[in-house]
Amino acid sequence: MSCIRVFYFVIAAVWALPLGAAGPNFLVLVADDMRADAIHGHGGAAALTPVLDRLAATGFSFREAHCMGSNSGAVCIPSRAMMLSGRPLFAVKNDLTGETTLPEKLGADGYETFIAGKWHNGKSSCERSFASGEAVFLGGMTDQFHPLLAPLKDHRLGTASRSESFSTDAIARAAVEFLSDRDRDQPFFAWISFTVPHDPRTPPTSVDPGPSVAAVPAGAPPSRWQPRYDRPFASLHDPATLPLPENFLPQHPFDNGWLMVRDEQLLAWPREPQAVQRELAAYHGLMTHLDARIGDILAALDTSGEAEETYVIFLSDHGLALGSHGLLGKQNLYEHSMRAPLIIRGPGVPAGKESAALVYLHDLKPTIEELAGRPVAPLSPDETASRSLVPWWREPAAAAARSCLLLAFTDTMRAVRTDRWKLIRYPQTDQSQLFDLVADPHERHNLAARQPEELASLRQRLENAQRAAGDSLGWTADAVRPAFLDLTGHARDPFAGRPWDAPPR
């Protein structure tokens, strides 16, 4: 047997072994509806996120991480299904039927699997994915002050009950308790998924008392991860001082098919600058509160003695408009809604480095599999297929760069995005948008009419990417509807942010 064959035989044998206590730990922290620029150190001038800034400074940031899109208005459902399965949008079911999820696979390899917080992909997939959990929320949005949370033990969810703790506090407390009390005979995979900064945008109105379960033992020096605030999170950010998004508009310039979805009815039309500033202040309040609780979790990890062998991964399921392009929600393919933060810190990961490579959030699964010593699938010619991100910090010259990203939203929008250009197509209204992202990163100037050759080239790339991904949506719908819709005078829905309080219709 040749030396090369012996080498691959040994590698295959090692991969086939149960990982046991030898594997690294994984602490995955997931935000909900968080824009990539909601981190101060990543361009969020108005953001107050010292913990995430420090995490980025000690880890590796992927600055062009994107959600591939959605088959419904609830973008987080397919986004999380993609992350947990490693499959692209057109190849996975929202409830993960037929998939061996990432935690399910790691659990079979000897990992302790734990969940706290949001799971929006069905009870069955949650139970088979995790052995234990606390403060589990099965749903999309919740009353942040009284979330309905359940325990999970031996792969079975218990009865949910209303918590008297704010959702972020309850989820962080569960994570702190897990890190503090767990049996360290096994490596762990912990999925800590918060319900913020998704609306209702209602940050805590009391002064932060810190977690009720100490993340650091009594008498220990203050942790570098634990900032404290002497004002309520709800009043940390003065709306009047917050700048509007650079691509703020009172209304979207045409009907994208989703202008009246629940998320968009949180404010009236046209969007008033002061109203958007109030939304931004509440959003940042939720983010700063989340940042503080993530600090408690990282402090508990330090105290546990397991930080050196733990990969900490922070990401969001997608972004949000918040006034950009006259929109509030995530039911669109603009950068503010499909781009999300992604930070990885851990053994062998260089500190303070970043990449502008085009990556998908569903690259998470093969990345963790490679870090855990598991085999990674061969590179697929379909660029929407997931790829391990490990080469981008270990050997970037050898990393497989994508030439473009395919983005898709229901049957109303498709986009192709390269390093420089982005084409968004709206088949139902026969509209195209072409943006030069180098000159116009906020997607304000539509060049479709002025750059016909570039438009034609990108149309071909879009159709090629669709074909490779198994997406059959055409360039123009059979029945084209009017493109322009003036919503001036439409009032906000007072129950859009709290649908559970809405009277029966």
Q: Name residues whose C-beta falls within 8 Å of residue 341's C-beta, 6 or more positions apart in sequence.
A: 31, 34, 36, 38, 39, 42, 52, 61, 65, 314, 315, 316
409 pLDDT band, cuts 50/70/90, is very high
Percentage of the chain exceeding pLDDT 90: 87
More confident residue, 213 or 261: 261
Q: Domains in the chain, please, with CATH?
A: 15-398 (3.40.720.10)
Residue 105 clears pLDDT 60, i.e. is over it: yes
Positive or negative: CA dihedral 179, 182, 183, 186: negative
Residue 177 has what DSSP assignment? Answer: H
Say whether pLDDT at 6 is over 70: no
Residue 389 and residue 396: Cα distance in Å, rounded? Answer: 10
Residues 6+ apart with CB under 8 A from 170: 135, 147, 149, 163
pLDDT confidence of residue 210: 67
Q: How far apart are the C-alpha atoms of 330 and 256, rounded to whole Å?
A: 12
DSSP state of 28: E
CA distances from 164 to 147, 169, 262, 453, 474 (A): 8, 10, 27, 59, 49
Section 412-431 average pLDDT: 98
Q: What pLDDT is recorded for position 455?
A: 98
Split at pLDDT 50, 70, 90, the class of 437 is: very high
Average of pLDDT values for 359-386? Answer: 95
The pLDDT, as a whole number, for residue 208 is: 78
Cα–Cα distance measured from residue 260 to residue 258, given in angstroms and rounded to the nearest whole number: 6
pTM above 0.85, yes or no: yes
Determine the Cα angle at 390 with ends 11 and 406, to 5°: 120
> From CA 144, how far away is CA 74, in angstroms rounded?
18
The strand pairing partners of 316, in sequence order, are 31
The token pair that represents 76 in the structure block: 């987080």
Give the helix ranges, DSSP H, for 183-271: none
The pLDDT, as a whole number, for residue 180 is: 94
Query: b or e along 413-450 (b: 16 or more beta carbons within 10 Å of the residue's beta carbon)?
Result: bbbbbbeebbbbbbbbbebbbbbebeeeebbeebbbee
pLDDT value at 243 more than 80: yes
Average pLDDT over residues 283-298: 97
Q: Which of 62, 80, 34 is nearest to 345 (CA)?
A: 62
Q: Which residues pair with 310 in a beta bridge?
A: 25
Task: Compute the average pLDDT of residues 18-22.
Answer: 47
Residues 6+ apart with CB under 8 A from 158: 150, 151, 152
pLDDT surpasses 70 at 492: yes
CB 323 within 8 Å of CB 240? no
Average pLDDT over residues 390-409: 96
Cα gap 49→365, rounded to integer Å: 26
Least confident of 20-34, 87-101, 287-301: 20-34
Residue 215: pLDDT band (50, 70, 90) is: confident
Arithmetic mean of pLDDT over the chain: 93
CA dihedral 29, 33, 34, 35 (to 10 degrees): 140
Of 102-106, 193-197, 224-228, 269-273, the one with minimum mean pLDDT is 224-228
Q: What's 225's DSSP letter?
A: T
Cβ atoms of 85 and 362 within 8 Å: the answer is: yes
Q: What percent of the chain has pLDDT over 70?
A: 94
Average pLDDT of the residues in 281-291: 97
Q: Which residues pair with 340 in a beta bridge?
A: 65
Write down the number of H helices and E strands in the chain. 11, 19
Most distant CA pair in the chain, distance: 78
Task: Quote the pLDDT of residue 213.
Answer: 61
CA distance to 223, 334, 402, 409, 495, per residue, from 320 (Å): 32, 9, 24, 14, 20
Cα–Cα distance, 275 to 99 (Å, whole number):
43
**β-strands 339-340, 353-355 pairing:** unpaired
Report yes or no: 361 and 79 within 8 Å, Cβ to Cβ.
yes
Structure confidence at residue 1 (pLDDT): 39
pLDDT digits (tens, 9 = 90+) for 193-212: 999 999 999 999 988 776 65
Residue 276 pLDDT class (50, 70, 90 cuts): very high
Higher pLDDT, 10 or 93: 93
**Six-digit token string for 158:** 């218990």
Answer whether residue 134 shows pLDDT above 60. Answer: yes
Residue 470 has a pLDDT of 97
